Amino acid sequence: MMCSPARPWRAAMLGAALALAALAAGTRAVRAEYGDVVMNAYSTEAGMRPVVFPHWFHRVRFRCKVCHGDLGIKFQAGGNQINMLKIIDGQFCGACHDGGVAWSVESCNLCHSGKPGLPTQVHESTIQKLTAPGQKQAGSAARK
Amino acid sequence: MRTTSLTTKLLSLAALGVMAGPLQAQEGRQVYEQKCAVCHAAGLAGAPRPGNAADWGPRLRAGKASLYRNAIQGTMRGMPPKGGNPDLPEAAVRAAVDFMTATVAAASKPAARPEVARKPAAQTAPAASTAPVRQAVPPAAAPVAAPAIAAPEAAAVAAPAPVQVASASLALARPEPGSGAAAANAFNRLLRPPGKRNLPPAEDGIHDPAVDGTLQLQPPLAAFGAMPRSNAGNRVDWVKALAEGKIAPRWERDKADAAAVVMDLNIVREVKGSMPDVVYPHKQHTEWLDCSNCHPAIFVPQKGANQMSMAAILLGQGCGACHGRVAFPVSECRLCHSKKKDGVAAGSAAPQAEAHR
The pLDDT score that the predictor gives to residue B134 is: 41
Which three-class secondary structure state does DSSP give residue B308?
coil
- The secondary structure of chain B in percent helix, strand, coil, rounded to multiples of 5, reads 50, 5, 40
The pLDDT score that the predictor gives to residue A15 is: 66
Across all residues in chain A, what is the average pLDDT?
82
Of A65, A108, A114, the CB nearest to B206: A114
- Domain annotation covers residue A10: no
Q: How far apart are CA B93 and CA B28, in angstroms?
A: 8
Q: How confident is the model at residue A133 (pLDDT cuts 50, 70, 90)?
A: low
Show the beta-strand stretches assigned E in A1-140.
Answer: 37-39, 51-53, 121-122
Amino acid at B294: C
Amino acid at A14: L
* pLDDT digit string, tens, across residues B271-302: 988 999 999 999 999 999 999 999 999 999 88
- Domain annotation covers residue A45: yes
Across all residues in chain B, what is the average pLDDT?
74
The DSSP letter of residue A48 is -
* pLDDT digit string, tens, across residues B226-252: 999 999 999 999 999 999 999 999 999
Q: Mark out the alpha helices in chain B (DSSP H runs).
A: 2-20, 26-31, 37-40, 53-61, 64-73, 90-108, 114-123, 131-135, 146-150, 152-157, 161-173, 177-185, 212-216, 220-224, 238-243, 282-286, 291-294, 310-314, 333-336, 351-355
Of B44, B205, B260, the CB nearest to A16: B44
Mutation site, A3, A34, A92, interface B, largest B CB count within 10 A: A34
Could you list the residue range(s) of the whole structural domain that residue A86 is in?
37-141
Q: How far is CA A41 from the centre of its chain?
A: 14
* pLDDT digit string, tens, across residues B206-228: 999 999 999 999 999 999 999 99
* pLDDT digit string, tens, across residues B110-156: 444 444 334 443 343 444 343 343 443 343 333 333 333 333 443 33
- Domain annotation covers residue A58: yes
Residues in chain B with CB shorter than 8 Å from the CB of A14 are 1, 4
- Domain annotation covers residue A119: yes
Q: How far apart are CA B163 and CA A138, in angstroms?
A: 53
Q: Do B178 and A49 touch (CB under 8 A)?
A: no
Amino acid at B112: A
Q: How many CB pairs under 8 A join A and B?
A: 215
Min Cα distance A22 → chain B (Å) is: 8
The pLDDT score that the predictor gives to residue B165 is: 38
Q: Do A24 and B182 touch (CB under 8 A)?
A: yes
The pLDDT score that the predictor gives to residue A135 is: 47
Q: Edge-to-edge strands of the sheet including A37-39?
A: A51-53, A37-39, A121-122
Lowest mean pLDDT among A95-109, B34-48, B275-289: B34-48
Lowest mean pLDDT among A41-45, A97-101, B47-51, B297-301: B47-51
Q: Do A49 and B9 touch (CB under 8 A)?
A: no
Residue A60's domain is classified under what CATH number? 3.90.10.10
Residues in chain A with CB shorter than 8 Å from the CB of B326 are 34-35, 55, 59, 64, 122
Amino acid at B98: D
Question: What's the total number of domains in chain A?
Answer: 1
Min Cα distance A78 → chain B (Å) is: 14
Q: How far apart are CA B151 and CA B157, in angstroms?
A: 10
The pLDDT score that the predictor gives to residue B79 is: 82
The pLDDT score that the predictor gives to residue B187 is: 58
- Does residue B1 surpass a pLDDT of 90? no
Q: How far apart are CA B145 and CA B165, in angstroms?
A: 6
- Domain annotation covers residue A88: yes
Mean pLDDT (whole number) for A101-117? 95
β-pairing verdict for B266-269 and A121-122: unpaired
Contacts of B103 (CB under 8 A, 6+ apart): B50, B51, B145, B164, B165, B167, B168
Task: Please name the residue of chain A whose CA is at the shortest distance from the CA of residue B183.
Answer: A21
- Does residue B33 surpass a pLDDT of 90? no
Find, among B57, B85, B53, B58, the residue nearest to B71 by Cα.
B85
Q: Check if the beta carbon of residue A45 is closer than 8 Å to that of residue B221.
A: no
Q: How far apart are CA B202 and CA B224, in angstroms?
A: 17
* pLDDT digit string, tens, across residues B50-87: 888 888 888 888 888 888 888 888 887 778 888 877 78
Mutation site, A124, A128, A129, A130, interface B, largest B CB count within 10 A: A124
The pLDDT score that the predictor gives to residue A42 is: 96
Q: What is the ipTM of this complex?
A: 0.76
CA dihedral (A109, A114, A119, A122) positive or negative: negative
Q: Check if the beta carbon of residue B166 is closer than 8 Å to that of residue B74.
A: no
- Domain annotation covers residue A18: no
Before B301, cis peptide (omega within 30)? no
Q: Edge-to-edge strands of the sheet including B277-281?
A: B266-269, B277-281, B337-339
Min Cα distance A133 → chain B (Å) is: 11
Residue A69's Cβ-side half-sphere holds a number of Cα atoms within 13 Å equal to 18
- Domain annotation covers residue A7: no
The pLDDT score that the predictor gives to residue B132 is: 40
Mind listing the domains of chain B with CATH numbers?
A: 2-180 (1.10.760.10), 207-357 (3.90.10.10)
Q: How far apart are CA B286 and CA B282, in angstroms?
A: 6
